[in-house]
Amino acid sequence: MKDWISIIAILISPLIAVCVTVWLEKRRSKRNDKMELFQVLMTQRGIHESYAWVNALNSIHIIFSENKAVLDALDNLLSTTNVKSPEDMNLVDFDNKKIKLLEVIAKVLGYSNINWEQIKTPYVPRWMVQEQAFNSTMKEAQLKYAESILNGQNIAFALKQLGTQSQED
Q: Distance (Å, rounded) from C-alpha 32 to C-alpha 83?
A: 34
Q: Which pLDDT belongs to residue 24?
A: 85
Q: Distance (Å, rounded) from C-alpha 163 to C-alpha 110?
A: 54
User: How many other β-carbons are positioned within 10 Å of the β-carbon of residue 75?
Assistant: 13
Domain chopping of the chain, boundaries: 2-118, 125-169
Q: Distance (Å, rounded) from C-alpha 158 to C-alpha 148?
A: 6
Q: Which pLDDT belongs to residue 158?
A: 58
Q: What single letter denotes the amino acid at residue 62?
A: I
User: How many other β-carbons are positioned within 10 Å of the β-carbon of residue 119?
Assistant: 19
- Report the number of secondary-structure helices (H) and strands (E) in the chain: 7, 0
Per-residue model confidence as pLDDT tens digits over 133-169 = 888 888 888 888 788 777 766 666 656 666 665 555 4
Q: Which pLDDT belongs to residue 105?
A: 95
Q: Which pLDDT belongs to residue 156?
A: 65
Integer angstrom CA distances of residue 157 from 66, 140, 150, 152, 167: 58, 17, 13, 10, 15
- DSSP letter, residue 97: H
Q: What single letter denotes the amino acid at residue 48?
A: H
Q: Please tell me the pTM assigned to this model.
A: 0.68
Q: Which pLDDT belongs to residue 155?
A: 62
> Measuring CA to CA, which residue among 77, 8, 12 is closest to residue 48?
77
Q: Which pLDDT belongs to residue 14?
A: 84
Task: Please identify every stretch of the chain with a pLDDT value under 50, giving residue numbers as ranges.
Answer: 169
